[in-house]
Structure 1
Amino acid sequence: MHALSLPTWWIHVASVLEWGLAMLAIQRWGQRRGEPEWNWLALAMVPALISAMAACTWHLFDNAQELYGLVVLQAGCTVLGNAAMALAAWNLQRKRATL
């Protein structure tokens, strides 16, 4: 755990928790409004959460080269998550335009 300072760890962990809470809030927002398309946005956020967890795990083990696959996983999940969130946002916009 020497790879990051304590304040940096705090930010990493808080960001992961915040992202999870944001996913839950978005899902509940859609339920309250009766707009199920918000669920797609919350689901699209999952790869970014996996990406963040992969980064934290790699740092937890002092950026060990044996775990470098986590960096590749993080990069892939980031690309997938960004694309998924863009599609989910487009879907929300498309739904709004038809109202």
Structure 2
Amino acid sequence: MHVLSLPTWWIHIASVLEWLAAIVCVWQFGERIGRPEWRGLSWAMLPALLGAMCAIAWHWFDNDPALNWVVTVQASLTLLGNCTLAWAAYRIWRAEQAEKSLGRRDPS
């Protein structure tokens, strides 16, 4: 735990908590407006959260070389998270386009 300074730990932990809060807010927004694709976005945010938690775990154990596999897992989760976020954004865009074509949403 000596590898990072206290302010750096604070930023790491605050970022994870902020991401978790964002997941909850996106989920609630999706429920409030009745659009399941927004709840899908909150699911798509989970791999990135898990990747961040891997990074924190690795730092917690002083970047122990025996845990280098955690870095690989973190990188893989980041890649997966980027892909799931892109897919969720596409689903939101596609749903918005479908609503516009049906004339259900105000164009302004």
- TM-score interval, smaller chain: over 0.9
Q: Deviations over 1:39-98 (max 9, x none)?
A: 110000000000000000000000001111110000000000000000000000000011
Provide the C-alpha distance between the structure 1 equivalents of 2:25 and 2:39, rounded to a whole number of angstroms. 10
Quick one: which amino acid aligns to residue 41 of structure 1?
Answer: L
Which has the larger Rg? 2
Provide the C-alpha distance between the structure 2 equivalents of 1:51 and 1:86, rounded to a whole number of angstroms. 16
| Counterpart residue number, 2:83 | 83
- TM-score normalised by length of structure 2: 0.90
Provide the C-alpha distance between the structure 2 equivalents of 1:52 and 1:83, rounded to a whole number of angstroms. 16
Q: Alignment identity in percent?
A: 51
Provide the C-alpha distance between the structure 2 equivalents of 1:65 and 1:46, rounded to a whole number of angstroms. 26
Provide the C-alpha distance between the structure 2 equivalents of 1:32 and 1:40, rounded to a whole number of angstroms. 14
Provide the C-alpha distance between the structure 2 equivalents of 1:69 and 1:50, rounded to a whole number of angstroms. 14
Quick one: which amino acid aligns to residue 59 of structure 1?
Answer: H
Residues 9-88 of structure 1 mapped to structure 2, 5 A cutoff? 9-88=9-88
| Counterpart residue number, 2:7 | 7
Per the TM alignment, residue 38 of structure 1 is displaced from its structure 2 partner at its CA by 0.7
* Gapped regions of structure 1 (runs ≥ 5): none
* Gapped regions of structure 2 (runs ≥ 5): 100-108
- TM-score normalised by length of structure 1: 0.99
Residue correspondences, number: 99
1:53 aligns to what SS in structure 2?
Answer: helix
